[in-house]
Amino acid sequence: MTFPKNFLWGGATAANQCEGAYVSDGKGLSTADVMLGGDKDTPRRITDGVLEGSYYPSHVAIDHYNRFKEDIALFAEMGFKTYRMSINWARIFPNGDEEEPNEAGLAHYDAVFDECQKYGIEPLVTLSHYETPLGLQAYGSWTNRRVIDFFLRYCETVFTRYKGKVRYWLTFNEINCMSISPWLAGGLPLESDEQARMTAAYHQFLASALAVKRAHEIDPENKVGMMYAGVVSYPASCDPKDIEANEDFMRSMLFYPDVMCRGYYPRYKLREFERTGIVLPQEPGDDEILRAGTVDFLSFSYYFTLVCGKKTKDAGLNVGTFNTGYTNPYLKESPWGWAIDPYGLRYILNLFYDRYQIPLMVVENGLGMYDTVEADGSIHDQYRIDYLREHIQAMGDAIDIDGVELMGYTTWGCIDLVSAGTGEMKKRYGFIYVDVDDEGKGSFERSRKDSFYWYKKVIASNGADLS
């Protein structure tokens, strides 16, 4: 298999899922800091502020905030070319709406980027990964157009401060999750109606487009991507009714990259808005903003494929369950019910490349599993190696056979971290084990799993040795 010469191999994390230190050095609360833990059968509850005596996974997480040097050294030992991470907006603007940034927050990420630079690791930075300053609730979060200005102030601050240190940026993590889990995607209540979600998404599109423009102006070296939750589904059968229902579902997801990669809303979505009475809060000049701020590349997460059909409309699709009313009888599932489908990765890579012809990056992929620590401390996670191997093979096929332009691959949760969907620690993705449990108890010590040594070999051989 031939991966491009400068292929960006690495791993990915998100601030609220790994940093902890939730009020250190002037950080404000974010939407993630009021989410209690759950499990695969119990959705995470969002509380009204921080309740005393309750455990919130983001408050401690894996203490990456204080241990980032040790963690980055381990990434470097695996040979990472890139580290995808996010800046926690509430560290820079604690309430979200301040005029001036918090210097201590900025200094922290300076130290993180310096550490990456020390090992020649290229940071890939998500500006908003499933957290919005909680202070912006007072404005109605992303339903309010003013939030665009607050976000841009934050973007300009970090683009300027980290000029020369960071060249790769992503605007909103899994932006299409506004339609599935609006609290994660933009700090909107879960029960938000379609009008509120579409208003918030519209504002995020504008914010992203303006951020792309500013990033290029501040440093022409900057490359800014969008980030799509790799939701892709197969029709339940060849019954045209199933095909139609699957198409409807896919369009409810794909209009997000359509807007961000093409610079305008697709006609099918505008027609739908007409039918359903959704009104976009358009102002003069908005169309030009969207057109001028298309992304440089499209990145996405990929874990599983779904099946959709006639029953899907009535099923309860949310980030925890992704219940579409169907399961795929041809695929095995993880203990969390996610259907393992390496071919689906080649499928979605082709879908995107056919649709937009811009460079792609897989910025999340991995297997969340229960790991067992043996008496001697070793962790034999062959299941994870098998999963990753097959997905890397699928990427190789998309490059070699189909000619897809792929820039890089960052596995999700390269170090164990808190699950976004369930708040658990025991749903582990890492090459690096972290000794902490679902209540935040443990030594926080890091140790290498079998997959650590395997991935090191994969990177050293540029994907040629997957054995």
Active-site residues, by number, are 174, 364
The C-alpha R_g of the chain, in whole angstroms, comes to: 21
Residue with Cβ nearer ligand BG6 (94 or 421) = 421
Q: Is 434 helix (H, G, I), strand (E, B) or coil?
A: strand
Q: Is 411 helix (H, G, I), strand (E, B) or coil?
A: strand
Residue with Cβ nearer ligand BG6 (75 or 228) = 228
Q: How many CB atoms lie within 10 A of CB 426?
A: 15
Residue with Cβ nearer ligand BG6 (242 or 424) = 424
Residue type, 21: A
Residue 318 C-beta: closest distance to ligand BG6, Å: 11
Cβ-closest residue to ligand BG6? 421
Residue 253 C-beta: closest distance to ligand BG6, Å: 13
Residue 321 C-beta: closest distance to ligand BG6, Å: 11
Residue with Cβ nearer ligand BG6 (39 or 98) = 39
* Token reading at 166: 């960071």
* Token reading at 212: 């792309």
Cα atoms in the Cβ-side hemisphere of radius 13 Å centred on 273:
17
Residue 356, C-beta contacts closer than 8 angstroms, at least 6 positions apart: 257, 261, 262, 298
Residue with Cβ nearer ligand BG6 (142 or 265) = 142
Provide the binding-site residues for ligand BG6, judged by CB under 6 A: 14, 17, 130, 173-174, 229, 301, 364, 368, 412, 419-422, 427
d(CA 221, CA 224): 10
Residue 424 C-beta: closest distance to ligand BG6, Å: 8
**Residue position matching structure tokens 């607050």:** 150
Segment holding 121, helix H or strand E? none
Q: Is 148 helix (H, G, I), strand (E, B) or coil?
A: helix
Residue type, 135: G
CB 356 within 8 A of CB 263: no
